Amino acid sequence: MERVLGTPALFATAYGNVGSSIYYALGLTAVFALGLTPLVFVLAGIVFAATAATYAEGTVRFPEAGGSSSFARHGFNELVSFGAAWAQTLVYVVTIATSAFFVPHYLSIFWEPLKSNPWDVVGGAIVIVVLVSLNVVGVTEAAKLSIGLAVIDFATQVLLVLLGFALVFSPEVLADNVHWGTAPTWANLAVAIPVAMLAYTGVETVSNLAEEAREPERSVPNAYKLVAVAVFAIYFTLPLIALSALPVETIDGELTTLLALPPEQGGFANDPILGVADNLGLEGGLLRALQLYVGVLAATILFIATNAGIIGASRITYSMSTYRQLPEVFRRLHPRLKTPHIALVLFAGIVPIVILLPGDVEFVGTLYSLGATLSFTVAHAAMIRLRMRPDPAVTYRARPNLRLRGVDWPVFAILGGLATGISFCVILVQNPLTRWVGLAWIVLGLVGYAIYRRRFVRAPLRATLKAPPAFGAALALEYRRVVVPIVPGRPSDDALDVACRLAAERGARVVALTVIEVPLELPLDAELPDEERVANDELDEAVAIGETYGVHITTRLVRGRSASVEIVREAERRGAEIIVLGSPRKDLTRRRGVFGSTVDRVMRNAPCRVMVTASRERPAA
pLDDT > 50? residue 373: yes
pLDDT > 60? residue 67: yes
Q: What angle do CA 313, 31, 92 make, to 5 degrees?
A: 5
| E strand residue ranges, 460-607 | 481-485, 509-517, 553-560, 578-584
Average pLDDT over residues 140-149: 62
**Worst-scoring range by mean pLDDT, 436-450, 482-496, 576-590?**
576-590
Domain 7-451: CATH superfamily is Amino acid/polyamine transporter I (1.20.1740.10)
Q: What is the pLDDT of residue 425?
A: 92
pLDDT > 50? residue 473: no
pLDDT tens digits, one per residue of 527-576? 888 888 888 888 888 888 888 887 878 888 888 888 889 999 888 877 78
Give CA–CA dist 432/438, Å, rounded: 10
In terms of phi and psi (left: phi > 0; alpha: psi -120 to 50; beta: otherwise), the region of 558 is beta
More confident residue, 241 or 228: 241
Q: Which of 301, 371, 307 is nearest to 21 (CA)?
A: 301
Helix (H, G, I), strand (E, B) or coil at 24: helix
Give CA–CA dist 222/220, Å, rounded: 5
| pLDDT confidence tier of residue 374, bands split at 50, 70 and 90 | very high
pLDDT > 90? residue 418: yes
H or E segment at 614?
A: strand 609-615
Torsion of CA 45, 49, 52, 56, to 10 degrees: 160
pLDDT > 80? residue 397: yes
- Per-residue b/e over 215-245, b at no fewer than 16 CB within 10 Å? ebeebbbbbbbbbbebbbebbebbbbbbbbb
pLDDT > 90? residue 172: yes
Give CA–CA dist 377/247, Å, rounded: 34
H or E segment at 567?
A: helix 563-574
Helix (H, G, I), strand (E, B) or coil at 547: helix
Q: What is the pLDDT of residue 277?
A: 92
H or E segment at 404?
A: strand 401-404
Average pLDDT over the chain reads 84
Domain limits, the chain:
7-451, 479-615
**Worst-scoring range by mean pLDDT, 176-180, 204-208, 440-444?**
204-208
Domain 479-615: CATH superfamily is HUPs (3.40.50.620)
Q: What is the pLDDT of residue 335?
A: 74
DSSP H helices, 349-410, are: 351-356, 361-387
- Per-residue b/e over 434-463, b at no fewer than 16 CB within 10 Å? bbebbeebbeebeeebeebbeeebeeeeee
Phi/psi for 254 (5° steps) reads -140, 155
Q: Is 123 exposed, middle or buried (0-12, 13-18, 19+ CB in 10 A)?
A: buried
State which of 186-200, 402-416, 458-472 shows the largest mean pLDDT: 402-416
Residues 6 or more apart from 430 whose CB is under 8 A from it?
A: 187, 190, 191
pLDDT > 80? residue 478: no
Residue 586, amino acid: K
The predicted model scores a pTM of: 0.75
